[in-house]
Amino acid sequence: RHTLELAELVGTRRQLLPVRGATPFVSQPGRIHPFRVGRGPAPLHLLPALLGLDHLDWSTRLGMARAGLAAKLGARLWPERLDRLSASAWLRWHGQGRQSRRGLWEPLGLATLNIPLEQASARMFATVLDRSMFAGRRDITALLPEQLLDDVFVRPALEKVRRQGGEILCSQRVVRLQHNGRRLLAVETADGRRHQAEAFVLAAPWYETARLAGQVAALDSLGRQCARLGYSGIVTVDIWYDRCWLEWSFAGLLHSPLQWVFSHPRQRGLPARVSCVISGAERLLAWPSQRLVAECRAELVRHFPAAAAARVVDSLVTRVPLATIRVTPGSYGNRPGPATALENLYLAGDWTATGLPATMEGAVASGVQAARMLDSRPAGRIAHVA
Ligand SMILES: Cc1cc2nc3c(=O)[nH]c(=O)nc-3n(C[C@H](O)[C@H](O)[C@H](O)COP(=O)(O)OP(=O)(O)OC[C@H]3O[C@@H](n4cnc5c(N)ncnc54)[C@H](O)[C@@H]3O)c2cc1C
């Protein structure tokens, strides 16, 4: 929701196109399970989706609907209690057997939390179910950007800031915080320049925040909190084929190390590009690229027999070892809110305490939280924020 509001604010909402029809989940060659959302009110909008999960028997599917309702209640009423449990223990507690865990919950959990359900906080998993799957039709509808996310969000946002008199400095790393123990006075960038402001929002990742916090005694405990958040990686394998073989813009894979496969719009005369996303990829980060490409090709052929006839013309492996924090049980307490021990320094980032997993939605929500704090400062309106 926050992400859509941001797109609205920067004037690019129309560039996020709802995916029409069903999202296909593929469990084995030729077995497509269309995940279709109905028009009825929540949770009845999920009836067509339950019908589509025909690799699961009916009692499993009804049990999943019950677990979804339990997630809604738990995420809203007992978030702290849920944060002490792992998502897989919580699912077992709610009668979710191997079929439903392997058939939907595990791939969904890995794709949204970026760690396996045995390691993930039940609170974060329940929040995902509450805020997406078991919320309204609008919240579960997948959106695909018409252009690169940079063009949909970043450039228009920068332009808006500039139009309102703000200054954007790119590729300027903050290396030092200058403070008087109570307030932040200025930040120093790698080029040696000093930037002063009345208030500051630090929106760097948690590991960078830990490094900067280490320079300020008052931010000692923030640094320690950040260090406890850990990290989890994502590997993306792009493969270019001599022909298009994937008939959807994206598909979810079940019983596979890959969670999502995307096909990019093909430009005339150029090879067809398919991107494979592997979340929670700790083990695979160390694999050589050749092995990763071979594994993805084999998985694609296993799920989509048409891929076997296509010739690979190129490939690219992207590894992001520190893609997100690890949302493990008990980790929520280490995620700070926007306020810090320095009275004019605020935090933002997907890793802060937004109530959400580390996602784009969480990142935007954290920005909103920081902006609200700035607005409500007892010291009054601020003219200059950095
Ligand atoms: C491969 C991959 C796939 C993903 N897929 C999805 C997805 O499908 N859906 C989803 O919701 N989320 C996804 N995510 C997660 C999503 O990208 C993040 O949740 C989001 O980008 C976090 O935004 P952020 O602003 O908190 O942090 P970031 O995007 O990390 O931004 C932090 C910024 O701070 C800058 N910075 C760092 N240090 C300094 C410094 N010292 N001085 C100045 N600037 C600094 C960095 O350059 C960076 O621009 C994915 C992430 C990865 C890596």
The predicted-structure confidence for 46-64, as pLDDT tens digits, reads as follows 888 888 888 888 999 889 9
At 221, list the tokens.
């405990």
- Ligand 1 close to Cβ of residue 143 (< 6 A): no
Q: Identify the CATH number of the domain in which residue 318 sits.
A: 3.90.660.10
> What is the ipTM score, two decimals?
0.98
One-letter amino acid of 225: Q
Atom of ligand 1 nearest to the CA of 3: 11
Write down the pLDDT at residue 380.
Answer: 63
- Ligand 1 close to Cβ of residue 234 (< 6 A): yes
Q: How confident is the model at residue 247 (pLDDT cuts 50, 70, 90)?
A: confident
Does 381 score more than 70 pLDDT? Answer: no
- What proportion of the chain, given as a percentage, has pLDDT over 70? 99
200 and 64 in a common domain: no
Write down the pLDDT at residue 37.
Answer: 85
- 10: in domain: no
Tell me the H-state helices in the chain: 2-10, 47-52, 58-77, 79-83, 87-93, 98-100, 106-113, 122-128, 137-140, 149, 155-163, 206-213, 220-227, 289-303, 360-375
Atom of ligand 1 nearest to the CA of 366: 26
Do residues 50 and 58 touch, judged by C-beta distance below 8 A? no
Which whole number is the average pLDDT over 227-232?
A: 96
- Spatial separation of the C-alpha atoms in residues 369 and 280, rounded to whole Å: 28
Which whole number is the average pLDDT over 352-376?
A: 95
Does 365 score more than 70 pLDDT? Answer: yes
Does 138 score more than 90 pLDDT? Answer: no
175 CA → ligand 1 middle, Å: 19
Q: Identify the CATH number of the domain in which residue 204 sits.
A: 3.50.50.60
- Ligand 1 close to Cβ of residue 142 (< 6 A): no
- 122: in domain: yes
| Number of domains composing the chain | 3
Sheet of 184-189, strand order:
174-179, 184-189, 194-196
- 163: in domain: no
- Ligand 1 close to Cβ of residue 358 (< 6 A): yes
Domain stop point among 140, 157, 184? 140
Pairing state between β 250-253 and 184-189: unpaired
Of 112-121, 245-254, 314-323, the least confident: 245-254
- 185: in domain: yes
Determine the structural domain holding residue 37 and report its residue range: 20-140
> Which of 187, 209, 238, 360 has the most ligand 1 atoms within 8 A of CB, as the residue to mutate?
360
Query: For ligand 1, atom 45, which residue shows the shortest CA distance?
Result: 204
Does 216 score more than 90 pLDDT? Answer: yes
- Ligand 1 close to Cβ of residue 320 (< 6 A): yes
Does 316 score more than 70 pLDDT? Answer: yes
- 298: in domain: yes
- Ligand 1 close to Cβ of residue 236 (< 6 A): yes
- Ligand 1 close to Cβ of residue 173 (< 6 A): yes
347 and 315 in a common domain: no
- Ligand 1 close to Cβ of residue 323 (< 6 A): yes
Which whole number is the average pLDDT over 223-243?
A: 97
pLDDT digits (tens, 9 = 90+) for 152-174: 999 999 999 999 999 999 999 99
- Ligand 1 close to Cβ of residue 91 (< 6 A): no
Do residues 367 and 348 touch, judged by C-beta distance below 8 A? yes
- 222: in domain: yes
Q: How confident is the model at residue 348 (pLDDT cuts 50, 70, 90)?
A: very high
Write down the pLDDT at residue 334.
Answer: 96
Q: Which H or E element spans position 178?
A: strand 174-179
Q: Which of 214, 187, 216 is nearest to 202 (CA)?
A: 187
Which whole number is the average pLDDT over 8-25?
A: 90
Q: Which of 335, 340, 339 is nearest to 373 (CA)?
A: 339
Does 279 score more than 90 pLDDT? Answer: yes
- 5: in domain: no
Query: For ligand 1, atom 19, which residue shows the shortest CA distance?
Result: 359
- 158: in domain: no
- Spatial separation of the C-alpha atoms in residues 386 and 228, rounded to whole Å: 27
123 and 66 in a common domain: yes
One-letter amino acid of 178: Q
Atom of ligand 1 nearest to the CA of 175: 41
Q: How confident is the model at residue 383 (pLDDT cuts 50, 70, 90)?
A: low
355 CA → ligand 1 middle, Å: 17
State the DSSP code for 20. Answer: P
Domain stop point among 119, 140, 161? 140
203 and 57 in a common domain: no
- Ligand 1 close to Cβ of residue 307 (< 6 A): no
Of 40-49, 55-64, 292-301, the least confident: 40-49
